[in-house]
Amino acid sequence: MIQGNIIRLIVVEESANDAELILNALRKARFPIRPRHVEDAEDFQKALSEQEWDMVISVPFVGDFTVKEIAELIKNSKQDIPLIVLTRKFAAESLVELLSNGARQVLPSENDTCLQIAVRKELEDLENRQSLRRVEQLYRQSQQHNKILLETSRDAISYVHDGMHIHANPAYLEMFGYQSLDELEGMPVMDLVAAENHTKFKEFMREYMTDENQQDRDIELIGVRNAKGKKAKFKLKMEVSQALYDNERCIQIIIRDQSDNSKELEKKLKEMSKLDQVTGLYNSQYFLQLLEKALSKVIESHTRSLVLYLQLDNFSKVREQIGIAGCDPILANVAKSLKTVVEEIAIARFGEYAFTLLLHDSDTNSAQDFAEKLRRTVENCVTEVDEKSIVVTCSVGIAQVLASAGTPQSVLSDAHAACKSAVQQGGNRVEIYKAIVKAGGGEDALKDVTKLIETAEEEKRLSLVFQPVVSLRGEVEEIYEVFLRMVDTAGTNVPAGTLFAAAEKANLSIKLDKWVLKEAAQICLKRQKSGHKTNFFIKLSDQVVKDETIVLYINKLLRASHLSGEHFTIEISEATAISQVKYAKAFVMQLKKMGCRTALEHFGTSLNSETILKHLPVDFVKIDSSYAKGLSSNAEHQNSVKNIVEMVHSYEKKTIAEAVEDANSLTVLWQCEVDFAQGHYIQEPLDTLDYDFTEE
C-alpha cells in the first residue's frame, strides 16, 4: 500500500548504477520513491518479507533470476505488486513470454517517458484496486451488520424472489407461526395471505412490479398464522421495497409490529442484548463495540484509554471441585463484587471466566492501582456453594488502547498477553503489557515498534547520542550530529532502521522529529549556560519538507529557549530534495529566515546531484557514506570524492565526509580538500558531549 505519498519500489538490476538510472528517470518525473536494489532471489524474498511494496521494476533476468521467478515470489507473498519489465529486446516473441510470465507491462529500457507514464498508470490502477478492496470490505461489514440488525429486529422481515421466500428473520417466523426457516423457505408469499385477499394482493404486486420507479409501497391485508396445525387470521400492514440479499435482487417485505408497547419492548430487548445473562455485566460483543469507539477516539483526538483483562485463577480446578452448575453463582458473585468497585467504568464478561474493563483518559500508574483494587476485591469475595465456601483469586493484564493497534482484537490480545504473563508468574497479580521487538523482523515487529513509539516519551525510552563532526581545515567549532535511540520495555535497543520504518508507516515520524528537536534545544541551552557554543546537525524525517507544523515548532522552540538558530543545522536527504524540489526549497528558505543552517545529506547518489545544488541554498553537503568504503585504496572513490568537493566548493558550500573508517581515509579526505569529517574512527556516537575539538 502506498504510504504517505512515498512509493515503495524494488528495482531488480545487475548493478546499483544501472538501478540508479531507473530511479533517476522516476525522480525527474517527481515520483517520491523509497527504493531498494536487489540482485537475486534471496534478496528479493527478504525484501518482500520485511514490508509491503508498491511496485517492482526489473530487467528480464539477472543471472539465473528471471521475471518468471520474480512473479512467482510476488504471488507467494500475497501482495498486490505490479511488475514492470524493462528490456532492450523488443521482439514479439520475447514480449509474449515476459507478459505470460507475470509482467503487467513490458517497456523499452532506455525510454524514460514510457517508464514514467507506465509507472503512473500502474500506481493509479493499484490505488483503484486497493480502493475496491476497501469498499468490498466495507460492503461485507455492512452486510454482516445488516444481518445482525435483521435477526434482532422486532419487525417481521422477509426476502422474496419470484414470489417465494428465500429468507425470513425470527420475528417473521414467529408472526406466522413457524419454528424454523426450513419450513418457510421456498413457500409462496401468497400462502400467508388469506384467500379473500389473494386478488387484492396479486393486483398490488402487479402494479408494483410494472411501476418504472418501483417506489416503496404498503398494503393492509389479512394474514394467515399457522397456530398448532390450525390457520388463524390476523390483520397486518405489509411494506414492500427493492432489495439485495446475498447479492441477489429480490423484494423485501416488512411487517411492522403494531402493538402499543413495541417501542418499549424493543428498547428493553436492545438493552438486554448488551448484557451477559449470568453476571448482568456487558457481554463480549457489546464490549468490542465500546472498544472500537475508544480506538476511533484515540485515532481522532489522541486521547488514550486502557483495557484491563481480568481472569480468575485456576478456575478449571474450581469447576472440577463444585461442578459446572456451581460455577454460575461464583461468576455472578464475583461480578457483583466488581460492580461495587467499577462505578461508571464499562465492565464485561469476556469468555467463560474472564472479565474486561475499559478505562478512559487514564494513565498506566492509575490503571495499575485500580487493577490492584480489583484483585483485592476478588480475593476477598466469598461464595457459598452447596455449603462450601469458595474463594478465588485473579490475574489482571493491562494494555493501552493505541492508534497503532488498529483493531479491538489487537488491544485485547495485548491485555490478554499481560494477563497470561501474570498467570505464569503464579497468578493473583497485575501485569502491564510490555511491547518488545520480536526476533526476525517483518510486519509483526513493525507493529510492536509502533506501539513502543507511541508510549516511548512518557515511559522515558527515547534518548539522544552524539557524534562529533570535526573540521579538517583547522577550524575549532563544536559540532555534533544527533542520533535518536529507542529501547523497548526490556531495555533492548531498537534498530534504527526498524524504528524509522515503523514510525513512517504509522505516521509517527513527525512526533519523533519534534521530540528530537525539543531535547536538542534543551541540551543546547544547558551547554550555552555552561559556556559552550554547541551546534547540532539534526536529521529529520523525509516528511518534514511538506509538514507545515515543523517549521512553526522549530521557531517556537528557539523563541522559548532564547537560542540562536545557528545552533541547529537541519539535514535533508538528496532523494527527498530531488523528488520534492519545490517543498524542499521552501523548507530551506524558511529555516534560513530563523537563522538555522541546512545540509544536504547522502549527496552523490543520483545523476542530478549538481542540479539540486542550484536549487537549494544549503550550507553544507554531506558526501554519501558509500564513497567512504575502502576510500584509502579505491581510486574510483577517491576521484569521485575529489570531483564532488570541487563541485560543491564552486557553489561556495562546505563538504562533510561521513563514515570515516581509518587514518588513511582521513588523509585522503584532507588531500581532497574535504572541510569536515565524521565516523566511528574519529568517535562513535556516545551519550556524552566531551569530544576535544582542539586536538590536532
pLDDT, tens digit, 9 for 90 and up, residues 525-550 = 999 999 899 999 999 988 888 888 89
The residue length of the chain stands at: 696
- Region class of 381: left (phi > 0), else alpha (psi between -120 and 50), else beta: beta
**The most confident of 29-38, 272-281, 554-563, by mean pLDDT:** 554-563
| CA 387 – CA 473 distance, rounded (Å) | 91
Contact indicator for 59, 115 with CB cutoff of 8 Å: no
260 pLDDT more than 60:
no
- pLDDT band at residue 232, thresholds of 50, 70 and 90? confident
What is the overall mean pLDDT for the chain? 86
Higher pLDDT, 626 or 486: 486
pLDDT digits (tens, 9 = 90+) for 329-361: 999 999 999 999 888 889 999 888 899 999 987
pLDDT digits (tens, 9 = 90+) for 376-388: 999 999 988 888 8
Average pLDDT (263-289) is 79
What is 213-270 written as a DSSP string?
S---EEEEEEEEEEETTEEEEEEEEEEEEEEEETTEEEEEEEE----TTHHHHHHHHH
What pLDDT is recorded for position 76? 87
| Domain architecture of the chain: domains with CATH | 7-133 (3.40.50.2300), 155-256 (3.30.450.20), 277-432 (3.30.70.270), 442-677 (3.20.20.450)
What pLDDT is recorded for position 138? 64
Least confident of 67-71, 342-346, 392-396, 553-557: 342-346
What pLDDT is recorded for position 1? 40
What pLDDT is recorded for position 265? 57
Residue 442, SS3 per DSSP: helix
| Axis-axis angle for helices 581-593, 548-561 (nearest 10) | 10
Partners of 233 in the beta sheet? 224
What pLDDT is recorded for position 375? 94
519 pLDDT more than 90:
yes
pLDDT digits (tens, 9 = 90+) for 75-113: 888 889 999 999 988 778 888 889 999 999 999 988 888
pLDDT digits (tens, 9 = 90+) for 501-518: 888 888 888 999 999 999
Which residue from 504, 577, 546, 544 is spatially nearest to 3, judged by alpha carbons? 504
What pLDDT is recorded for position 688? 93
Which residue from 130, 6, 136 is spatially nearest to 80, judged by alpha carbons? 130
CA distances from 305 to 363, 368, 599 (A): 8, 13, 41
SS3 of 314-336: the string is CHHHHHHHHCHHHHHHHHHHHHH
Query: Which residue is listed with cell 527515547?
Result: 462
What pLDDT is recorded for position 2? 45
Longest dimension (CA), the chain: 111
Least confident of 132-141, 268-277, 650-659: 132-141
257 pLDDT more than 70:
no
What pLDDT is recorded for position 646? 95
Helix (H) or strand (E) holding 437: none
136 pLDDT more than 90:
no
304 pLDDT more than 80:
no
What pLDDT is recorded for position 524? 94
pLDDT digits (tens, 9 = 90+) for 418-441: 999 999 899 999 999 877 665 555
Q: How far is CA 401 from the centre of its chain?
A: 14
What pLDDT is recorded for position 655? 96
What pLDDT is recorded for position 297? 75
What is 17-34 written as a DSSP string?
HHHHHHHHHHHHTT--EE
Average pLDDT (252-268) is 65
300 pLDDT more than 70:
no
What pLDDT is recorded for position 3? 43
pLDDT digits (tens, 9 = 90+) for 401-424: 877 666 788 888 889 989 999 998
